[in-house]
Chain A
Amino acid sequence: MEFDVIFGNAARAGLGPQAAIFALAAIGLNLHFGYAGLLNFGQVGFMMLGAYGTAIMVATWGGSLWLGIPFGLGLCVAFALALGIPTLRLRSDYFAITTIAAAEILRLLIRSSPATDITGGPFGLQAIANSFYDLNFLPDGRFGIGTFSYSSNQLWVMIVAWVLVVLCSALVLGLIKSPWGRVVRAIREDEDAVLSLGKNTVAYKLQALAIGGVIGGLAGVIDVLQQSGVGSENFEPQVTFFAWAALILGGLATTVGPVVGAVLFWFLREGVESFIRELSAENWLPNVLADFLDGAEGAISVVLMGIGLVGLMALRPQGIFGRRRNLHLGT
């Protein structure tokens, strides 16, 4: 068994652009739920708008990438307002249901045939990130050892993505440590109490939703950059749930939780998948099982991750970095 191959694959995924994308999505969710108490099950909708806003500006309208990115993020703010204004006054479960539905409706609209002229419909949009790779100052070739290696362009995306992860973590930390963040955390605890103290809670929730959504939108932008294209199949509801898994794994309402959670999530997911593939390749599995697993390594890996997460919730419900004591102080 080639453990170096397995580990190399796992590490490549854990530090790769996918992990950074999910780290960003989870940082946004952490602001939403960890700090503001907003149950957003439609984070993928923000990622989609960030991605498609960028892509449409470049591929459909022939605009600059540097105009496309702020346009995509602007769409995220608009989406936050459209989602939040009607629902944030209502009970929190209405908001949760609306988010998941809105994200999925958005995806179906984007891939529908009438939208093909703008969004590329089922074919998506390509050739978007050229001006981003023009800025790549790294030499050509591969970087790393064995399976743990990246091409020059991949490494360039990764550097940008992880820098964004650090900046967004710092942004959220700074906001949360401010009096603004104090009000937001207070709303998570008891909105009526905060209202009774003269704070416009709906405005704070909208702001938190928009900021976390824009960070999710950045995840979508990175996705466009790394593939130099978009397709609606990348934005199915499971994306949101993987981001939630990463967040819960790392720990809610902590600064490093969402980042470490995302890294670990991709490390384990790829590691397990690679491990199963190796098992089959070495004929260590009985034939029946090997046939069953053949081609389903990814799915099995996700299932095992799910079981692992359930186990974690039993042993360490606060996640890796969360503080256990906080769980017992629920309202």
Chain B
Amino acid sequence: MSEMTTVRPELTEAALEAAPPGRLKDDPILITFGMLKTFGGIRAVDIDHLEIERGTITAIIGPNGAGKTTLFNLLTGFDRPDQGSWRLDGRPLGGLPPHRIARLGMVRTFQLTKSLSRLTVLENMAVAAQTQRGERLERALLRWLWLPEEERVMTRAVELLERFGIEHMADEQAGTLSGGQRKLLEMARALMADPELVMLDEPTAGVNPALTESLLEHIRNLNAEGVTIVFVEHNMDVVMDISDWVVVMAQGRILTEGAPEEVVANEEVIDAYLGRAREAVDEAVEEAEGEEGDG
């Protein structure tokens, strides 16, 4: 076991008893077996078993460096595990490149927002549409082959932008968006790819409270439409607010998982593993707000 056991063995055992990790789900969309990733000597991710229930909103929480982003990278093919296998809808994903995994319906966003700066907001959206005929080189110059499809893509893109309240920016270059708008765009763009499972890495980081509220609303609506959502979050209020299930990570391992009330009731877990992170995030948010106010 990792260091923490030796530091506070009683805590870990208590936590394990309350909500043992690796719980089986009724209808898992994603199943992970024995996932291990080390960086040098650090076990960044070391997870025996994890299942994500279809149609739910699952929050992954844990202090900085817990391995949340690394887990996302592994699951979405952006990084290769040292060991382990995982399945989406029963399909093994090990060894598949990230674009293949995305095409199978697991689409991620990034902790540091990745907007395509010198493309317009609308183009950002259009890039995400799947299996476009005009994206094939041999058809690129044959406009009549893809123009009708392009119109459908644009209509859909505008619809989504409207839904996310950034349609007025459609023709602006994405690099001109504010931080919060970029988060919205990245999420809208992920939806444009028609995912079954969306993995959001800190969707509300650096976003002001009003915008956070609307982001959460989008996540809820999306879920209501049947999309499974996994998201990393530091803000416990947000976690309590929208998640059906909470997975607590620390030092690469799943410390515990359970319904939000279950996990939050485990005071020790929260104090030990979220207290610090929570403070840090609260501070960061305050700072960001301060900056926004100045500008």
Residues of A at the B interface (CB closer than 8 Å) are 171, 174-175, 178-183, 185-186, 188-190, 192-201, 207, 325-326, 328-331
Given the interface contacts A201-B99, A329-B176, A330-B117, does A182 sit within 8 Å of B137 by beta carbon?
A: no
**CB neighbours of B76 from chain A (8 A):** 196
In the assembled complex, the CB of B15 is this many whole angstroms from the nearest CB of chain A, namely: 33
Select which of B118, B140, B153 is within 8 A of A181 by beta carbon. B140
Q: Is the CB of B175 within 8 A of A178?
A: no
Q: Which residue of B lies closest to A181 (CB)?
A: B140
Q: Is the CB of B134 within 8 A of A196?
A: no
Q: Is the CB of A193 within 8 A of B173?
A: no
- Expressed in whole angstroms, the Cα–Cα distance for A193 and B125 within the complex equals 12
Is B189 at the interface (CB under 8 A from chain A)? Answer: yes
Is B169 at the interface (CB under 8 A from chain A)? Answer: no
- Expressed in whole angstroms, the Cα–Cα distance for A197 and B139 within the complex equals 20
Select which of B78, B102, B127, B175 is within 8 A of A182 by beta carbon. B127
Interface string of B188-224 (1 = CB under 8 A from A): 0110110000000000000000000000000000000
Select which of A175, A193, A194 is within 8 A of B140 by beta carbon. A175
Q: Which residue of A lies closest to B124 (CB)?
A: A186
**CB neighbours of A183 from chain B (8 A):** 127, 135
Q: Is the CB of A199 within 8 A of B114?
A: no
**CB neighbours of B126 from chain A (8 A):** 179, 182
Q: Is the CB of A199 within 8 A of B99?
A: yes
**CB neighbours of A182 from chain B (8 A):** 119, 123, 126-127, 135
Main SS at interface, chain B: helix
Q: Which residue of B lies closest to A207 (CB)?
A: B137
Q: Is the CB of A180 within 8 A of B117?
A: no
Given the interface contacts A189-B119, A190-B116, does A199 sit within 8 Å of B135 by beta carbon?
A: yes
Is B143 at the interface (CB under 8 A from chain A)? Answer: yes
Select which of B108, B117, B137, B153 is within 8 A of A196 by beta carbon. B108
Interface contacts beyond A179-B126, A186-B127, A190-B114: sample of 13 additional A-B pairs, CB < 8 Å, sorted by A: A179-B135, A179-B140, A185-B118, A189-B119, A192-B78, A193-B114, A194-B127, A197-B189, A198-B99, A199-B99, A199-B127, A326-B173, A330-B175
Which of A190, A193, A207 has the most chain B CB within a 10 Å cutoff?
A193
Q: Which residue of A lies closest to B149 (CB)?
A: A179
Given the interface contacts A182-B126, A329-B176, does A198 sit within 8 Å of B135 by beta carbon?
A: no
Given the interface contacts A178-B143, A179-B126, does A189 sit within 8 Å of B118 by beta carbon?
A: yes
- Expressed in whole angstroms, the Cα–Cα distance for A197 and B105 within the complex equals 10
Q: Is the CB of A198 within 8 A of B114?
A: no
- Expressed in whole angstroms, the Cα–Cα distance for A237 and B108 within the complex equals 42
**CB neighbours of B173 from chain A (8 A):** 325-326, 329
**CB neighbours of B110 from chain A (8 A):** 192-193, 196
In the assembled complex, the CB of A126 is this many whole angstroms from the nearest CB of chain B, namely: 37
| Interface members, chain B 111-139 (any A CB < 8 Å) | 114-119, 123-124, 126-128, 130, 132-137, 139
Task: Please name 22 pairs of A and B residues whose Cβ atoms are closer than 8 Å in the assembled complex, sorted by A.
Answer: A175-B137, A179-B140, A179-B153, A180-B136, A180-B140, A182-B126, A183-B127, A185-B118, A188-B118, A189-B116, A190-B117, A192-B78, A193-B115, A195-B78, A195-B99, A196-B78, A196-B102, A196-B108, A196-B190, A197-B190, A198-B130, A328-B175
Given the interface contacts A189-B119, A198-B103, does A178 sit within 8 Å of B141 by beta carbon?
A: yes
Q: Which residue of A lies closest to B98 (CB)?
A: A195
Residues of B at the A interface (CB closer than 8 Å) are 76, 78, 97-100, 102-103, 107-110, 114-119, 123-124, 126-128, 130, 132-137, 139-141, 143, 146, 150, 153, 173, 175-176, 189-190, 192-193
- Expressed in whole angstroms, the Cα–Cα distance for A178 and B139 within the complex equals 9
Given the interface contacts A178-B140, A189-B118, A331-B117, does A198 sit within 8 Å of B134 by beta carbon?
A: no
**CB neighbours of B133 from chain A (8 A):** 179
- Expressed in whole angstroms, the Cα–Cα distance for A329 and B176 within the complex equals 7
**CB neighbours of A198 from chain B (8 A):** 99-100, 102-103, 107, 128, 130, 193
- Expressed in whole angstroms, the Cα–Cα distance for A193 and B134 within the complex equals 20
- Expressed in whole angstroms, the Cα–Cα distance for A201 and B99 within the complex equals 8
**CB neighbours of A175 from chain B (8 A):** 137, 140-141
Q: Is the CB of B140 within 8 A of A329?
A: no
Select which of B119, B150, B175 is within 8 A of A186 by beta carbon. B119
Q: Is the CB of A329 within 8 A of B107?
A: no
- Expressed in whole angstroms, the Cα–Cα distance for A325 and B120 within the complex equals 13
**CB neighbours of A331 from chain B (8 A):** 117
- Expressed in whole angstroms, the Cα–Cα distance for A326 and B153 within the complex equals 25
In the assembled complex, the CB of A329 is this many whole angstroms from the nearest CB of chain B, namely: 3
Q: Is the CB of B102 within 8 A of A180?
A: no
- Expressed in whole angstroms, the Cα–Cα distance for A33 and B185 within the complex equals 26
- Expressed in whole angstroms, the Cα–Cα distance for A201 and B135 within the complex equals 12
Q: Is the CB of A200 within 8 A of B117?
A: no
In the assembled complex, the CB of A40 is this many whole angstroms from the nearest CB of chain B, namely: 18
The 4 closest A-B pairs by CB, nearest first: A329-B175, A179-B134, A180-B140, A198-B102
**CB neighbours of A207 from chain B (8 A):** 137
Q: Which residue of A lies closest to B150 (CB)?
A: A179
- Expressed in whole angstroms, the Cα–Cα distance for A199 and B110 within the complex equals 16
**CB neighbours of B189 from chain A (8 A):** 197
In the assembled complex, the CB of B165 is this many whole angstroms from the nearest CB of chain A, namely: 21
